A and B are shown apart, each in its own frame.
Chain A
Amino acid sequence: MTSPHPPGPTGDLLLPAADTDAPPQAPPASLSRDAWQQLRARPVVWACLAVIALIGLTAAAPGLFTALFTDDDGRCELARSKLGPTTGHPFGYDLQGCDYLAQVVRGSRPSLLAGVAVTAGALLVSVVLGLLAGFYGGWVDSLLSRATEVAFGLPFVLGATVILVAFPRHGLGAMTLVLVALGWSTMTRVMRSQVIAVKDADYVRAARMTGARPSRLMLRHVLPNAVTPVVVVAMLNVGNVISGEATLDFLGVGLQYPAVSWGLQLNTAQSYFLDHPHLLAFPALFLSATVLSFILLGDAVRDAYDPKLR
């Protein structure tokens, strides 16, 4: 991710709506089946799913790939430091003299975990806050809106670096929290405006008049009808999160040894890639393919759910 663009959910990464301030239209109920019909017909969707499945498999069972494609014995020997690809070691060796294929394959797990966990976390936070702000309005809304602005106004890399340097003992869990903390604002805005739009719909008014309690109104009537756009936005965001996590590793403020990640590999590669381009090429390829697949997939889902842009 470029530094000035927070990998927070921009919602409309590839084909943005003309007017982001207008509340998205509530999708009709039959849309999800409709959308699936449409998604199924697109080859790009299948290609992305294939890439994601493959990367997912490397994350779940890295040993399988190491056994199949390399003669790796699991040892790192400095004497083999930075050697290029050879038979038995198709990706060559890294700075520490470890088999690079084994390392790159092992690097997929933190990326995928972060992508999924951060998206889920940010989705949860933004649905709750957006629901509260949109439904109650008033001071709750004002307070939450200011908080959103704070989170939104803080440049992503800057904010994350300050937090992560302040707490040096962080693992993937803490990284996830930081990425959620910096990534919930836009999704909350989407949720809030959607809730405001739905809140005044006839069926909600009708329910209100029958004397339904606010909590029931929120959960039974508003939430189901307001949540779809924010879920779509969240899907679009998975690729961004993976990219953002890798950026922090790359800058040396994210994960650290013994964790293995593509960002860390790229961090090491930066000093050596002119003389040893394979150090840059393999993690860059895997990272880019993963991010690209998630973004294209999210884009396709968005297209399918947003008939306006079809």
Chain B
Amino acid sequence: MGRFVVRRLLHAIPVLLATTFLIYALVFVLPGDPIQGLAGDRPVPPSVLAELHRRYHLDDPLVVQYAKYLGGLFTGDFGTTFRGQPVGDVIAQRWQVTVRLGLTAWFFEVVLGIALGVWAGLRKGRWADHLILGATTVVIAVPVYIVGYLAQLVLGVRLGWFPVSGGEAGWPAAYVLPGLVLASFGLAYVARLTRASLVENLRADYVRTADAKGLSRLRVVIGHTLRNSLIPVVTFLGVELGSLMAGAIVTEYIFNLPGIGQQVFQSIQLREGPTVVGITTALVLVFVLANLAVDLLYGLLDPRIRHD
């Protein structure tokens, strides 16, 4: 087990390096001048431009810039935004919003997704099953921003149940609607996954045996089937936790939540290299760790799988 973890972590290093370098190159190497960009239509005197280029290492060759950046990273320095704020601070602050949003969405996926899936699985072939299957298909197909706008229109504006956008109302009020929208895709997926897995397991011999013994259907499901059925669901939910954190750009965009996704989108447009690379590094790291956690959990849940 220990060796497995170490091997996986070692594998993650080249992936992290390659990803950050790729992003770094794309943000930095192309023509254009972020300092002049910040100034917009204002003149920037050459002397000031030269100084700011020096300060943000913009004149160094790409590889040197990247090396300096990596050096800083090892000492915990994520670089500085062009407004002079440490990128680490920006990430720390924005992260709170994204984590809240991600966990809220994840909660919906776990609770609603599994509940709907179990319900549909137990009612296989009846109207509830058809309804859930149909609804989840539609949710999977409709782009998230359309789901988001419909939710804003109906639940936010017409019914007035939730703030339409912005994070000022705090958790949970401001996060329920975006959380649901962010969760919609995964929720539908979890429901279908749970249903499919449950239906398959209910056909297994041990269930028939339990049935034959006269155990109630519910006890059969809870006592025997659910644990086995949930293995693929847990796998998905684990990866999903990473994905949800990994920048809910679109959801934060339409709901105006000041999270990581919003920040990174803004920074890309501003060509603010250090921020983009800092956030991307953090996101990829989260993603890699989530995948690792899933693999480990998978081994615990399913005794047939052993990591050596």
Contact = CB atoms under 8 A, between A and B. Distances in A.
The answer on direct contact between A and B (beta carbons under 8 Å) is: yes
Interface of A: 1-5, 13-16, 18-20, 146-147, 149-150, 153-155, 157-158, 161-163, 165-167, 239, 243, 246-247, 250-251, 266, 270, 273-274, 277, 280, 284, 287-288, 291-292, 295-296, 309
Given A3-B249, A5-B243, A251-B253, A288 B142 contact: yes
Nearest to A44: B137
Contacts of A273: 149, 153
A155 B284 CA distance: 8
Contact of A158 (B30, B141, B280): B280
B264 A158 contact: yes
Contacts of B22: 150, 154
Interface string B21-58: 01100110010000000000000000000000000000
A150 B142 contact: no
Contact of B249 (A157, A166, A287): A157
B143 interface: yes
Nearest to B302: A19
Q: Which of A14, A147, A296 has the most CB of B within 10 A?
A: A14
Nearest to B196: A15
A296 B232 CA distance: 22
Given A146-B15, A266-B146, A166 B26 contact: yes
Closest 5 CB pairs of A and B: A4-B243, A292-B141, A3-B250, A2-B185, A2-B144
B199 to A, nearest CB: 10
A16 to B, nearest CB: 5
A14 B132 CA distance: 12
Contact of A266 (B145, B231, B248, B283): B145
A104 to B, nearest CB: 14
A18 B197 CA distance: 7
A2 B251 contact: yes
Contacts of A266: 145-146
Given A16-B193, A239-B141, A296-B137, A288 B250 contact: no
Given A162-B26, A280-B149, A292-B137, A287 B143 contact: yes
A157 B250 contact: yes
Given A16-B196, A155-B243, A146 B18 contact: yes
B265 interface: yes
A166 B27 contact: yes
B247 interface: yes
Contacts of B264: 158
B11 A146 contact: yes
B186 interface: yes
Contacts of A162: 23, 26-27, 268, 276
A309 B240 CA distance: 23
A13 B11 CA distance: 28
A209 B236 CA distance: 42
B15 A149 contact: yes
B92 interface: no
Given A5-B185, A158-B247, A291-B141, 17 more contacts: A3-B248, A14-B137, A14-B140, A15-B196, A150-B15, A154-B19, A158-B283, A162-B276, A165-B271, A243-B143, A250-B250, A270-B149, A273-B153, A274-B157, A291-B142, A292-B142, A309-B196
B123 to A, nearest CB: 17
A13 B261 CA distance: 25
Interface in B249-274: 249-251, 253-254, 261, 264-265, 268-269, 271
A16 B186 contact: no
Contacts of B236: 16
Given A3-B249, A3-B251, A292-B138, A16 B232 contact: yes
Contact of B268 (A3, A165, A167): A165
Contacts of A15: 192, 196
Given A154-B19, A251-B265, A288 B197 contact: no
Contacts of A287: 143, 146
A72 B145 CA distance: 30
A251 B287 CA distance: 23
Given A146-B11, A251-B265, A155 B246 contact: yes
Interface in B182-208: 182, 184-186, 189, 192-193, 196-197, 200
